Structure 1
Amino acid sequence: MELIDSFSDHYGNRIFRVFRSSAAARKNQLRQHRHTEFEISLILSGSGLYRTETGNYDIRAGDVFLYSTNEFHCISDITPDAGQDCMELLNLQFSPALLAADGITDADPPLGVFFNRSEAFRNRLTRENPHTAEIRELILSVQTECVAKEPCYRTAVRDLIGRILTTVTRFYGYTNRDARTRPSLRYDENLRVAVAYIEEHLCEPLTLDGIIAAAHMTKTHFLAVFKSFYGMTTWDYINIRRIDRAMSLLAASNRTVLDIAVSCGYNNTANFNRIFRKVTGITPKEYRSSKKSTSDSSPS
């Protein structure tokens, strides 16, 4: 993975990153993963097969994929294409906090494409839709802004992502406009505190009561607001973040599975193995074996 840029809010919570990733040719390697952030991916080169919760998609250069938080996806097959033996992607990952602002009252907030989907939704944007080419250019413009880092570039990045989601909402029919499953995009400041507390104590014994106390919110309000903005429960968020850390340790070190489990906040391997399989679809040992059997860097 080649990190191009990332930035955080004033509590230190990462709210955006852009990176390029590549993976060598492979067949039927199921390395599913989930994120606590939204993801927009542009296929720069290569072809293959993407497996997602909404179905399987063939991949080719120029395709754009959208993924919500806690949404399973996996590039299982990569085939040589146009003389290249790998696939390259440009990925944008961002928290709902990136787009949150007081005073936004749109009936169809831009995150509706993630949380308020119609039956027509597909993870891969329709190739024939003329607006897909426009969205490709907007994604590349995000990369350009993050490389150049001109004054106010972070505001420009936020606006570009807003334009991408607005274009999808208006011209793809992917949003259910007859139902509201999420409130207007008001990000509770106390929620930022809660997320910062989780990240600071991620690998320690966390309790829901401790998180709520740090956020100075009632339990009912906290649980409702957290799930509303992240599309998952607090414990799902914690487990995905912990397993993400564990995956890095499994791939980059020879530490035992038990040692890694404990260092990521789990007190036994049975619980760690169960949650690891729930998040990734495979066991920690299978993941480590798959990473050692190939030198490619899987898309995240």
Structure 2
Amino acid sequence: MIQFLGGERFFELDFPIFVNRETESFKVKYHQHDFIEICLVEQGHGFHHIGNQTIPVQKEDLFLLPVGTPHVFRPSSPDSNEPLVICNYIFKLEAIEEVKQWIPGDSELFRILYSPEHRSKPWYHYQDRHNRFAQLFDSAYLEYHQRLSDYRTMLKTTLLQVLILLHRMQSDVAGKGEDRAARGMEKVKDVLHYVNNHLHEPLVLKELAEKNLMSVSQLQQHFKAATGKTFTQYVQHLRIQRSCDLLNTTNLSVQQIAQRIGYSDMKFFHALFRKITGCTPREYRNHSRNEFFRGVLEP
């Protein structure tokens, strides 16, 4: 079930721009909204469940989410020593009407903002390799929460700078091709899609490499470059993440959940679950029901 979050939950009545910084947990539900969101991973590791994909994320990952994009961030585990921290810049177009005057009409950014039915992708993923976005997001966060004089003007100006940088990045990609990390993700895209949809089946690296006309070493290299994890680490974390979701949202037994995500050896499943999350499946379920289901994105 996808929860809908309206902008009125976040925006002031006459100012549809909002900036916040969230330490992600398993409390927030899979959701979509009626505003545009730009998300920057500022700290930690985890996963971004977006559309029908699960993307490993870490510091410097940047996402542009058009109106209506279903998604949710999840940390690697509920007891991670390094939390997953996301800074969100959300807005509606009426906050920056002047943007339409300078964005080229044939650009991808123009299509995202003003002609979404013609955009090339459902959502966009970038890397903030030089911390230029991090500086702008940090400035915007301070302006929004300190409320100094003319803070609204500063927030609009900073948002315009963010959009200009996005436009430049999109133009560079169109003109020069994707960078190394993006190319690596492209090469394993089919593998990631297959893994995400076949977690309940045996997943053998050699077989996946052969299906995609690559050697095992090539697939390992591209997979690590694209996800930041080895194939085994990615599959294990994704399976445990999926089991956490089932523990949260169903009444299935622990054994049934283990079987649904591809584990028949319960001893191995319990050991792996504790290694990744820091607790047993039963402890996790009790903890989530006692704490995480009290509300969703409470203001």
What is the TM-score when the length of structure 2 is the normalising length?
A: 0.49
Larger radius of gyration: 2
Higher relative contact order (CA closer than 8 Å, sequence separation 6+): 1
Bigger share in helix: 2
What is the TM-score when the length of structure 1 is the normalising length?
A: 0.48
